[in-house]
Every structure is written in structure tokens, then in C-alpha cells.
């Protein structure tokens, strides 16, 4: 079981800072529903997350992860012992 809820809480400040929007807690953030989440901000978001959590997503993940919960789940797997 991943600690996705905790990661969502840790991820939220990054989403807020990069996308420049005050998202509410406990709801998913989806790229297709967020006008600020364009291609440039997506790059910034993914790199900021990698930098903050000291992980590296795969090339496929970098291109396809498109929601807060999906990113949280992927992070959980990367950080699992």
C-alpha cells in the first residue's frame, strides 16, 4: 500500500507553487481540467517533484503522469523499499 494521501499533501505545495493556483485539499488535480497546467508548467512540475523528492521518473512517466493522484502513486512506488 502506498502512502498516496501523505504524498498528495506533500505534493500540493509544489502544485500550488508551480501552477500558481490555490488548490483545495483532498481532491485530485487533473491536467486536462486545469488550464494553468500547460506543457511548460508540466515540465516544471515534474522536474520540481523529482528535485524535491530526489527521485527520477522514467521517460514514459514524465510524459504521461497527468494528475496529482497518479503522480502520488508513482512516487510511492519509486520510494517503496
Partner 1 sequence: MIALAESGRVYENEPILFSPVPSRLALHQLMVLPSRPGRQLKVNVWRNHSIEPLLPLCAPYFAFAGVEVDWWLSAYDDSLCFAGHQQAALELLWLDASSHFAKMSDHECVTWLRGRLFALRRASSAPIVVVCLAQQVDRTRMLAACVESVGDAYWADIGVRCESAGRPVVDQRSASIAGTPLNARMHALLARDLACHWIAGAMLPPIRAVVVDLDNTLYRGVLGEDGACGVELTVGHIALQESLRALRAQGVFLGLISRNEREDVDTLFAQRTDFPLHLQDFSALEVSWGDKAAALMRLAERLRIGGDAILFLDDNLGELVEIESRLPAVRTVHAMADAELTARALNYYPGLWRWRTTAADRQRIADFAANEIRQSVLDSCGEGIEYFRNLAVRVTLVYGDRRQVPRLAELCAKTNQFNMTLKRLTEANLQALMADVDVSVCSISLSDRLTESGIVGVLVSSRHGNRLVVEELCISCRALGRRMEDVMVLGALHHLPTLDKCADIAFPVVAASRNAPARDWLKQTIGLPVRPGSGVYVAPAKLVTDFCPPPGIILETLL
Regarding 13 and contact with partner 1 (CB under 8 A), the answer is: yes
Q: Is the Cβ of residue 1 or residue 40 nearer to partner 1 in the bound state?
A: 40
Residues with Cβ within 8 Å of residue 62, at least 6 apart in sequence: 46
Is residue 52 a contact residue for partner 1 (CB under 8 A)?
yes
Q: Which is nearer to partner 1, 6 or 63 (CB)?
A: 63
Strand partners, 30: 67
- Please report how close the Cβ of residue 23 comes to partner 1 at its closest, in angstroms: 14
Q: In this structure, are residues 1 and 80 in contact, taking their beta carbons and an 8 Å threshold?
A: no
Binding site for partner 1 (CB under 8 A): 13-14, 17-18, 20, 39-40, 42-44, 46-48, 50-52, 56, 58-59, 62-63
Amino acid at each position: 500500500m502506498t502512502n498516496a494521501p501523505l504524498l498528495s499533501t506533500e505534493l500540493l505545495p509544489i502544485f500550488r507553487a508551480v501552477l500558481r493556483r490555490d488548490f483545495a485539499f483532498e481532491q485530485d488535480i487533473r491536467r486536462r481540467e486545469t488550464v494553468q497546467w500547460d506543457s511548460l508548467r508540466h515540465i516544471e512540475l515534474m522536474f520540481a517533484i523529482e528535485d524535491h523528492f530526489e527521485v527520477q521518473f522514467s521517460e514514459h512517466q514524465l510524459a504521461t503522469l497527468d494528475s496529482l493522484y497518479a503522480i502520488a502513486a508513482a512516487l510511492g512506488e519509486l520510494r517503496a523499499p
